[in-house]
Structure 1
Amino acid sequence: MLLKRQYITMLKLFNTNRLITPVLNKCNHSTAAKSVTAVKINGTEFISDEYTNVTPKIMSYLGKNLHLRKDNPLSMVRQRIVQYFYKSFTHRGNPTFSVYDNLSPIVTTKQNFDDLLIPADHPSRAKADCYYINKDTLFRAHMTAHQSELLRSGLNNFLMIGDVYRRDEIDSTHFPVFHQVDAVRSQRRDELFPNHPDLDIFEPTFYKQKPHLFTNTILDPTKQSCYTLEATKLMEVQLKNHLIGLVQALFGKDIKYRWVDAYFPFTHPSWELEIYYENDWLEVLGCGIVRNEILLNSGLNDTIAYAFGLGLERLAMALYKIPDIRLMWSEDSGFLSQFHNKDLNAKITYKPVSVFPQCVNDISFWLPDNFTIDTFMSNDFYDLVRDIGGDIIEQVKLKDKFVHPKTKKHSLCFSIVYRHLERTLTQAEVNQIHKAIETAIVTAFNVTIR
């Protein structure tokens, strides 16, 4: 993990080389300029600590809201999903699902993890996976972070749409910022069983013990212990039918699909839906029956709910045959014009504006004595490369790892693939950026370039 002093030095190095320009205010420094005291984002100041790992490059994506931008394929997919739910769920002619597509991406760890029953030792909480402002605040890692607050506000059917942030590898299908649609639908007994007053949502023991004293378990793979099998199965049928209808509305009635059992901390039972796409199975969403503990903590003691989440980028890339996730961020008119004023249901196949050549440079380095191949955090390295190279970094691949037989020192070699989406890069400018990356990793990680 990056130490504070290393991180500050890295930020100074980035700005000295003028390879990136943060859109938002970068970290403020103390009088001694030796440690970060606060991070200022959108006019709000957050106290930094050992968890702080947001970078200027990542902060520059805040507020872009690609899912709301006219002519962006993500916006088209978003609108198609919203239309499906508006048409499928109505009451007296009005949509029963409300849509929240401009919620702040800055959330608390309570919202992102605790409210969703994610254990304290769960790997999704790691600094290697999330962008932390400090130990209590981060850029949301999923739209489900807003689920409890919306339930507490009295909503029962809603879609949450927005940008989410996760540290990840670099290739054509992974980007540190992507967009999700998450949804919740809850029902009371009279809504779930309108014609069967003899059926109930809850097991009798749930009522005999007060709901907040009842210990809900997930030992039974078919249901939570508090719910009846009838209620769980009916919700499962509704959930799966609604989501099959959604993928058919997007990909056509003939799309092949299958359900796969899954595990999520906040739902039980849980499933993933896969579609057969280009001769392989593609996972498109995860879903399940919301854990009753979440509902109780949100003030609901008389309902059962289902939830699901899906990624807009994955759907857009499949629907429109977009080969590189970075294209979603393109301002090139040749890209955006392919989606300009098009019918939402039009069959659009992306046509490359032009194909620019790659430049590939390798970088090899010895790790310091306190690191091994297994303990070196690759996501820290990826973030550094992305901050310096920006969106011309197409891919970073681990090419080789080596342990010297005599000194026992550990070495890594990465291939960095550079390609601009809108022009040809010269080897000279790539070499300049590559050299800046070398200099930065020496400063940030105390490595020795081979």
Structure 2
Amino acid sequence: VLLLRSILKLSQQIVDDPVCILGSKMRIMVLIVALVGRAVRGLRLESASSYQRSISCRRGLAKKATREATAEQLNRFVTDHPDNNVTPYIAALVGRDLHKREKHPLHIIRSKIESYFQNLETEYEIFDGEDPVVTTTQCFDDLLIPPEHPGRQKSDTYYITDETLLRTHTSAHQSEHLRAGHEAFLCTGDVYRRDEIDASHFPAFHQMEGVKLFPEMDGSKFASKEEWLESEECKIVASDLKKTLENMVDYVFDDPNLQKRWRDDYFPFTEPSFELDVFYNDEWMEVLGCGVIHEGVLERCNLQAKRGWAFGLGLERLAMVLFSIPDIRLFWTDDPRFHDQFKSGDIVKFQPYSKYPPVFKDIAFWIPDQHFEENDFFELARSVAGDLVEQIELIDKFTHPKTHRTSCCYRVTYRSMDRSLTNEEINDLQNTLRDRTVSDLLVELR
């Protein structure tokens, strides 16, 4: 636009000034070159100015939405490795250690579970300081998770390099503790997964792993896996597992009459595998997954003669139900109106201190011909708006009958936990999200 305006101005000058017409071709060429240079410089300045405004806006909003990553976090987790997909937003979550903060709901739940196990006849060791950065061997191979499993894909997992990642479960530390000679232990920590955005999903959450071996049991006497699975010893391990966990949920929910049910399930690292549900608030709720440790996992630890069980549970899932916390983002807030409610260290019902109005924005685009990962869009939204994104849902999807192109329309819900949002800042966020969706995901907006 600047170039066209300049050329028009030059043309008018030439018409008005006969000297220009009679001048040399060289003079005209010099003027044109100068004007082109001036126009290009103008475009660069405008582009740089817009870019700086965009960066400043994002940084300002990010400060309001969530914490900024420290230089140390950025240097460790956000690298130049081609497989790295950790964003500054995710890096800033690492090391918050919510489960270690006294009087935090997650710490209260964790302490209650640990208290139950510490009162059992078996002595359980307690671990909670393992590094969240693990290897693919720890997180997947040691647990017999196959290469094609979705959990190993970049769409679901935060990779630092091709061989290191932010752990996706506390089971990543099971084998290292078994190799070190620990036969009964609990392990709690923060875990990370790329996931959808709603009130019950967050890219960082907290798990507790529990493991118990049976020292007196000799697994080497079984000639085959089938013989072991049908043996009386396998039934003893499974029965002990179920009894231990049923009593645990009775203790945590403080209800000896709590209805429970077991469902058969599948996990690569346990066989047989189960899930435990409880009936709470008039509905069935999944509490945990567990099973008899797969003999292949024990073999990789040089413990092929041993047998035992393992379980894993999410602390947020239990805390949201027991404390009546409606939004998983609240666990990460620093607002004293949230934390002051739990100073007693007891399980109490959360009292909402305010419900700020949501702001809805839609974004529709044609997805590229190549594979499109929905989690990439969710991750981008978190990077742009941080904790201000409450939910993203697909509200429309269709394929054009002639072009066969697929269009998706997502509704983005913005809402802060502790303040009202202005139209200006939400519009800025939405515009940035639209721009980044095009540039980063190579889609075409509708």
Would you say the 8 A contact 1:203–1:228 is kept in 2? no
Would you say the 8 A contact 1:326–1:391 is kept in 2? yes
For 2:294, the equivalent position in structure 1 comes to 291
In the TM superposition, 1:167-206 aligns within 5 A as: 167-189=194-216, 201-205=219-223
Q: Which has the larger radius of gyration?
A: 2
1:254-286 Cα offsets, whole Å, 9 max, x none, are 110000000000000010000012222111000
Q: Do residues 327 (structure 1) and 330 (structure 2) align?
A: yes
Tell me, in whole angstroms, the C-alpha distance in 2 between the residues paired with 1:103 and 1:201.
29
Alpha-carbon offset, residue 46 of structure 1? 6.1
In the TM superposition, 1:80-91 aligns within 5 A as: 80-90=112-122
Q: Do residues 148 (structure 1) and 144 (structure 2) align?
A: no
Change (3 A) 1:429 1:135: same
Q: Do residues 48 (structure 1) and 75 (structure 2) align?
A: no
Alpha-carbon offset, residue 23 of structure 1? 1.1
Change (3 A) 1:14 1:313: farther
For 1:17, the equivalent position in structure 2 comes to 58
Tell me, in whole angstroms, the C-alpha distance in 1 between the residues paired with 2:265 and 2:229.
19
Alpha-carbon offset, residue 331 of structure 1? 0.9
For 1:417, the equivalent position in structure 2 comes to 413
**Residue type at the aligned position of 1:155:** H
Segments of 5+ residues of structure 2 without an aligned counterpart are: 1-50
Would you say the 8 A contact 2:273–2:291 is kept in 1? yes
Would you say the 8 A contact 2:228–2:234 is kept in 1? no
1:145-199 Cα offsets, whole Å, 9 max, x none, are 001111111110011100000111000000000000011100122xx5xxxxxxx
For 1:357, the equivalent position in structure 2 comes to 357
1:132-156 Cα offsets, whole Å, 9 max, x none, are 1121111000000001111111110
1:64-107 Cα offsets, whole Å, 9 max, x none, are 011111221001000001100001135xxxxx111111111100
Change (3 A) 1:300 1:13: farther
Segments of 5+ residues of structure 1 without an aligned counterpart are: 1-9, 28-38, 91-95, 193-199, 206-215
SS state of the match for residue 408, structure 2? strand
SS state of the match for residue 118, structure 1? coil
Percent identity at matched positions?
42
1:225-281 Cα offsets, whole Å, 9 max, x none, are 446611111111111110001000011111100000000000000100000122221
As a proportion of its length, which structure holds more helix?
Answer: 2
**Residue type at the aligned position of 1:124:** G
Would you say the 8 A contact 1:203–1:227 is kept in 2? no
Tell me, in whole angstroms, the C-alpha distance in 1 between the residues paired with 2:177 and 2:341.
36
Q: Do residues 366 (structure 1) and 366 (structure 2) align?
A: yes
Q: Do residues 337 (structure 1) and 340 (structure 2) align?
A: yes
**Residue type at the aligned position of 1:433:** L
Tell me, in whole angstroms, the C-alpha distance in 1 between the residues paired with 2:201 and 2:235.
35
Tell me, in whole angstroms, the C-alpha distance in 1 between the residues paired with 2:388 and 2:121.
43
1:404 is aligned, of 400, 405, 419, to 400
1:334-388 Cα offsets, whole Å, 9 max, x none, are 1111101333xx4x111101111000010111223x23xxx31000000000111
Would you say the 8 A contact 1:65–1:163 is kept in 2? yes
Change (3 A) 1:422 1:100: same
Q: Do residues 126 (structure 1) and 129 (structure 2) align?
A: no
**Residue type at the aligned position of 2:240:** Q
Alpha-carbon offset, residue 401 of structure 1? 1.2
Tell me, in whole angstroms, the C-alpha distance in 2 between the residues paired with 1:330 and 1:143.
23
Tell me, in whole angstroms, the C-alpha distance in 1 between the residues paired with 2:121 and 2:186.
12
**Residue type at the aligned position of 1:23:** A
Tell me, in whole angstroms, the C-alpha distance in 2 between the residues paired with 1:113 and 1:14.
38
2:190 is aligned, of 160, 163, 166, to 163
Count the aligned residue pairs: 389
SS state of the match for residue 395, structure 1? strand
